[in-house]
Amino acid sequence: MPHRSGPPDSVGILVPSGMLGAGFSPETIIRGISLGADVIAVDGGSTDSGPYYLGADVAKTAEGAVRRDLRLLLAAASRARIPLVVGSCGTSGTDSGVNWVAEIVNTICVEDRFDLKVAKIFSEQHAGQLIAQLERGRIHALPPSEPLDAATLRRCAHIVAMMGHEPIEQALRAGADVVLAGRATDTAVSAAFPLMRGMPPGPTWHAAKIIECGGQCTTHPGSGGVFARIDQAGFTVEPLDPDAACTPASVAAHMLYETVNPYTMREPGGTIEVAGARYTAIDERTVRVEGSRFEPAGQYTVKLEGAAVTGYETVSFAGIRDPQILRSIDVWAEFFDKTLTERVASVLELTADSWGADLRLYGYNAILGDLEQAPATPNEVGVMLLVSAENQQTATAISKLANPLLLHLPLPTMNYLPSFAFATSPAHIDRGPAYEFVLNHVVDVDSPTRMFRLEMEMKGPSHD
């Protein structure tokens, strides 16, 4: 093997899919390795499915699906002697999410006889330490949120900080074969290895953003993985599914996906600027990108995510098919809200601000609510009643009071009681605690790695 001095000419990144556990074909990996992958990077999480996963500290992906993906990735990385980086382990990147993925990795290493150095990077934060930062004026709100207060931090069931590439690079420099990161920016997962190898930040960060969702930047967004090769002047990107293609439009359009601003994206250490990027087709399925920049920030900032319990919920569901009711469904819904409010006040003696209900008319205007413009009279409506209260017992009690209304409430003008169609018995289901994202704030830090804790261990048959 030739001795290397200075950075390599280029670094190849294999992204097998947009999410660990989403699945990919074994050919995806074979193809990516044959293209000369220097690292395999895959995201393990997202906030997109809501605050429950962080709040309850539960993974969205099924263990069997994560195990299946990891088994293929560990085999490929081990055989090619290249590192595997997994970001935002366990969906939300909590400490138990990292440990959950690490346990799966450990089992596979023993079963399939891989001796690998596994790094775990923990990103969960204690409210107390953050309150100290807050008091020193080091935590700032991002738009559209308000300045943070200590009470909000204390309310959080779990808080994670989003790492940049530095903690991942630290683990790789320490010789990790597998890096299991807690919450990390989607881009840091792919950017860490090429940055370590001396690739320029502009193309590296832009490439990392383009490939973070796997096939999303291709003409077949549902297809598997993508491969990017970064060099000193730019990067190229191509799909790993031979039937898919990257076109200048499909690649450029990925900057729109789930972003507020398609031209600039803030990372902990600076801003990705792609307004000047040029996208050129190299062939029918490969795109070359040049002109991306990375502007280092004056202050390194780490973003926080936190989920707090907002209440305990019970959901009830009933169907209405009676055309007479459906012709006046708005009147019925208003009468329902009024009647339930009165009954909760008189029977349970609860004040109006101690509980909440959301009556949703699926088939009529449930999804868009007030934004719906003059919906037509529906053929049938699914009535979902979501109740929130300070504890589960109260939410259930309110739902039990609502039960006869969901079954029999007439229009105010009717002189008999209709009966509606319950879908199940009982008609209600307790949902347990419900959560809300309450942090949209960043912490000024002096060190990119200080908020994150690194643990390294050898795993496999020789170390079991």
Partner 1 sequence: MTDAPRTLGDLALEVRSKNAGPFWMTLEAFMPDEQAYRIADALITTELISELYHVPPASLQIYRIPDLHVIKVSFPRPVVQGSLHDRDMHAGQHHVPLASTVVPSGFFGCRN
d(CA 272, CA 295): 7
- Choice between 106 and 388, CB closer to partner 1: 388
Among 313, 318, 336, 443, binds partner 1 (CB under 8 A): 313
- Choice between 47 and 187, CB closer to partner 1: 47
Region binding partner 1 by CB under 8 A among candidate stretches 138-146, 163-171, 203-211, 342-350: 138-146
Cis peptide before 144 (omega within 30 of 0): yes
Instruction: Tell the smallest beta-carbon distance from residue 255 to partner 1 (Å).
Output: 9
What amino acid is encoded at 285 in this protein? Answer: R
d(CA 176, CA 154): 35
Which of positions 163-222 make contact with partner 1 (CB under 8 A)?
none
Among 34, 261, 324, 377, binds partner 1 (CB under 8 A): 261
Q: By CB under 8 A, how many residues form the interface with partner 1?
A: 41
Among 47, 204, 216, 399, binds partner 1 (CB under 8 A): 47
d(CA 265, CA 202): 12
User: Residue 290 interacts with partner 1 (CB under 8 A)?
Assistant: no
- Choice between 323 and 369, CB closer to partner 1: 369
User: Residue 291 interacts with partner 1 (CB under 8 A)?
Assistant: no
- Choice between 1 and 368, CB closer to partner 1: 368
User: Residue 43 interacts with partner 1 (CB under 8 A)?
Assistant: no
Instruction: Tell the smallest beta-carbon distance from residue 258 to partner 1 (Å).
Output: 5
Are 437 and 306 in contact, with CB atoms under 8 Å apart? Answer: yes
Instruction: Tell the smallest beta-carbon distance from residue 250 to partner 1 (Å).
Output: 10
d(CA 290, CA 325): 61
Are 36 and 73 in contact, with CB atoms under 8 Å apart? Answer: no
d(CA 311, CA 144): 23
- Find residue 117's DSSP bridge partners: 458
Cα distances (angstroms) measured from residue 103 to each of 90, 208, 370: 12, 27, 47
Among 249, 331, 345, 417, binds partner 1 (CB under 8 A): 249
- Find residue 252's DSSP bridge partners: none
- Choice between 117 and 158, CB closer to partner 1: 158
CB neighbours of 60 closer than 8 A, spacing ≥ 6? 45, 46, 49, 53, 91
User: Residue 144 interacts with partner 1 (CB under 8 A)?
Assistant: yes
d(CA 159, CA 152): 11
User: Residue 334 interacts with partner 1 (CB under 8 A)?
Assistant: no
User: Residue 437 interacts with partner 1 (CB under 8 A)?
Assistant: yes
Structure letter (DSSP) for residue 291: -
What amino acid is encoded at 407 in this protein? Answer: L
Return the structure tokens found at 253: 């359009």
Region binding partner 1 by CB under 8 A among candidate stretches 4-12, 81-89, 112-120, 433-441: 433-441
Structure letter (DSSP) for residue 4: P
Please list the alpha-helical segments (H only) found in 180-328. 186-196, 201-211, 248-253, 323-327
User: Residue 259 interacts with partner 1 (CB under 8 A)?
Assistant: yes
User: Residue 92 interacts with partner 1 (CB under 8 A)?
Assistant: no
The 10 Å Cβ neighbour count of residue 364 is 21
Among 145, 341, 392, 449, binds partner 1 (CB under 8 A): 145
- Choice between 138 and 266, CB closer to partner 1: 266
Residue with tokens 């309150």: 131
Which of positions 49-88 make contact with partner 1 (CB under 8 A)?
49-52
Instruction: Tell the smallest beta-carbon distance from residue 283 to partner 1 (Å).
Output: 21
The 10 Å Cβ neighbour count of residue 306 is 27
d(CA 269, CA 280): 28
Which of positions 385-424 make contact with partner 1 (CB under 8 A)?
386, 388
User: Residue 301 interacts with partner 1 (CB under 8 A)?
Assistant: no
Among 164, 224, 268, 311, binds partner 1 (CB under 8 A): 311
- Choice between 177 and 267, CB closer to partner 1: 267
Which of positions 8-37 make contact with partner 1 (CB under 8 A)?
none
Question: CA neighbours within 13 Å on the CB side: how many for 283?
Answer: 5
Are 420 and 399 in contact, with CB atoms under 8 Å apart? Answer: no
User: Residue 280 interacts with partner 1 (CB under 8 A)?
Assistant: no
Site string for partner 1, 344-383 (x = CB under 8 A): ------------x-x-x-----xxxxxx-x----------
- Cβ burial of 178 (10 Å; 0-12, 13-18, 19+) is buried
Among 48, 103, 112, 135, binds partner 1 (CB under 8 A): 48
Residues found near partner 1 in the complex (CB under 8 A): 47-52, 142-145, 249, 252-253, 256-263, 310-311, 313, 356, 358, 360, 366-371, 373, 386, 388, 434-437, 440
